[in-house]
Structure 1
């Protein structure tokens, strides 16, 4: 039995290596690969903003110039991550390719979050985490369902993946409800000051560390299930209920040729990640002028604006895609509509809640940044609402443009309410790198100074 398992594992490794090296298929040259990256999108013209943004930072130009240049530089890098992930899927196969695509799709948000953690902007970081998840749950898939289902009565989702996503998404969201419920339950005094203590903060930190480890266990188990599902099927795309469009996608990865060389792709992505880290650093350091020179609340800034920075590239591509296909529909022979809905953004949310969020908590633990999973009650309520509507829309493994529009509208509702919201003071006191007493004294002196 053990020998058979070893032989099976060896065969899988050989198959993977043959696919990664594209054995028996034409290789892509270095020059051709670099040309494909350069011409992959018109958004690549914004790459020139990156060196200018670095010069603006080190030369101490106006913060607004640094922020704007960093913003457009990140837009171009985000598209390179998306394109690189799609190309690596040809070499890694569907399962590992999807994981690489999703991870690279979260690269911008994860980098911004780590920079915020490094600067100990914990309140802004928590708002950004919720904002990123809500964006990927509502706005991105909703817009995709609207554009993809405009000319077809309904689109398909993979039923097995949909059922699993419902469970994973729900446990990720409910893990934030537990600390909020705990804090509300112990807050039985007439004033919130009674529970804003260093002891409460320490308890929440211990609770958050334990929840973070448990969430990571759930995520890794889900990845094992998706990569090697029980039964005779090699993967979930081979299951009888899998949509034909999904099977066609797997066949395309096996039969078609990539546009870039795998080693060139890895090198370009590595360089892009390095540029992303530096550019995100300058972006975060220059955001104070936005908060100080505008009437935008910090809640809206983290919940809506910063996540939209990461979505800017996909949004720009989506708008151009929609306009191009509408013109083609009216003036030329229309392209047949796809029957497979694009719901990768929901997978991005699941990875962000089950992997990146607990990862940030553990990094904060190791670097003495007291990041807890106690989030603002308004943020948790908005996230639960987003989870509810997404699970309801995708429950039958089918979707249409009207359901997509409802998701986009609910995102607009959250954005509208967040515009007038200033956040819970208790959460702000418990989300500081100083002691709770120091935070309370600083707030009292600020009030007194006014």
Structure 2
């Protein structure tokens, strides 16, 4: 996290580059590098607020702001009409969290500890919810690709809104499940509580400031996507599937790996799978609702995104079945992610 803070220099660099009209690929890189530390700072401020708000409210705040960066980037991408990038980033976040983040965590943790264990009951609940969420996410796409493949997908925004409402309702119910009715299932051994890093007022001010700057940088970032992809030959699908999730979740990804190094695989896996669940049940519905302001967006993925999503979630369910992990499982996950990334890169 300390290393990421040096990247804050790219905030003024990207703003100056935008004012001076530097090349779009350069501004793309500068704004991306500026977003990464801002996302980390947003996470730190949310964590500090959690110390004062208490466990339940703190958990809700972490759930809400955990993927705020991707939500903001997605909003500006929708505003710019880059619906393919938005949908690709949704799929890419889920795929990246399960294959890359979970894979790196298992690999790094497994190299230090021969076998790592985690709370199988909790992970089973999360992975089962994730499977349900992905099924809900892909049904509109399967319907479009099979029943009405010859019709324009934009005609199905009504179905997408219905699915979004159901997903958001399930998200609220999952919070009730984990924080109230079944909170004992999520109880962990007490750990030493470190003093909050910042005062409550300071944490709130930093959170607001980080959110504002992420909004500014996201608008710059999204504005360079189309010219950048044309300039260097990358597809918008690759930007959405690979680059946006890595940029938006770099800080969170590093936290998951660090937790694995500390032999806290419960936390590491919950970050990877829980973040994927948030993307589908919270971020996606909110983006669908926000798209109604501009032009309604449908939840329709292409065939390869669907396959990658389905297999990623099936892998997550398989890994959760035995309650333990090792470095070889991590290698396998990373290998699959590299294959997926290479496929989208070639497109």
TM (normalized to structure 2)?
Answer: 0.91
Question: What is residue 416 of structure 1 aligned with on the other side?
Answer: 342
- Whole-Å Cα distance in 2 between the matches of residues 133 and 148 of structure 1? 21
Structure 1 residues 341 and 265 mapped into 2: Cα distance closer, same or farther (>3 Å)? closer
- Which has the larger Rg? 1
Q: Which residue does the alignment assign to 1:377?
A: 303
Aligned to 1:362: 289
Candidates 103, 125, 137, aligned match of 1:142:
103
Counterpart Cα distance in 2 of 1:266 and 1:397:
38
Alpha-carbon contact 1:146-1:400 (below 8 Å) kept: yes
Q: 2:84 aligns with which of 115, 123, 126?
A: 123
Shift of 1:315: 5.9
- Structure 1 position 386 matched with structure 2 position 315: no
What's the counterpart of residue 135 of structure 2?
174
Q: Secondary structure at the match of 1:57?
A: helix
Contact 1:152 1:337 in 2 (8 A): yes
Asked whether 1:351 is paired with 2:303, we answer no
Partner of 1:162: 123
Compare 93-102 and 107-116 and name the one that shifted more: 93-102
Range 128-137 or range 64-73, more displaced: 64-73
Instruction: Check the 8 A contact 1:70/1:279 in 2, yes or no.
Output: yes
Residues 1:286 and 2:241 aligned together: no
Picking from 157, 171, 188, the partner of 1:205 is 157
CA contact 2:256–2:267 (8 Å) conserved in 1: no
- CA distance in 2 between counterparts of 1:205 and 1:338 reads 41
Q: Is the 8 A contact 1:135 1:307 kept in 2?
A: yes
TM value normalised by structure 1: 0.71
The residue number in structure 2 matching 1:236 is 185
Deviation at 1:402, TM superposition (A): 1.9
Show CA shifts across 1:18-41 (max 9, x none): xxxxxxxxxxxxxxxxxxxxxx61
Q: The residue matched to 2:321 in structure 1 has which SS? A: coil
Q: Name the stretch that deviates more: 65-74 or 113-122.
A: 65-74
Higher relative contact order (CA 8 A, sep 6+): 2
Structure-2 separation of matches of 1:414 and 1:224? 35
Q: Which has a greater percent of helix?
A: 2
8 Å CA contact 1:229–1:236 kept in 2: the answer is no
Cα 1:66–1:174 shift into 2, 3 Å: same
Corresponding residue for 1:267?
Answer: 205
1:208·1:373 contact (CA, 8 Å) conserved in 2?
Answer: yes
Gaps of 5+ in 1: 1-39, 239-245, 326-335, 422-450
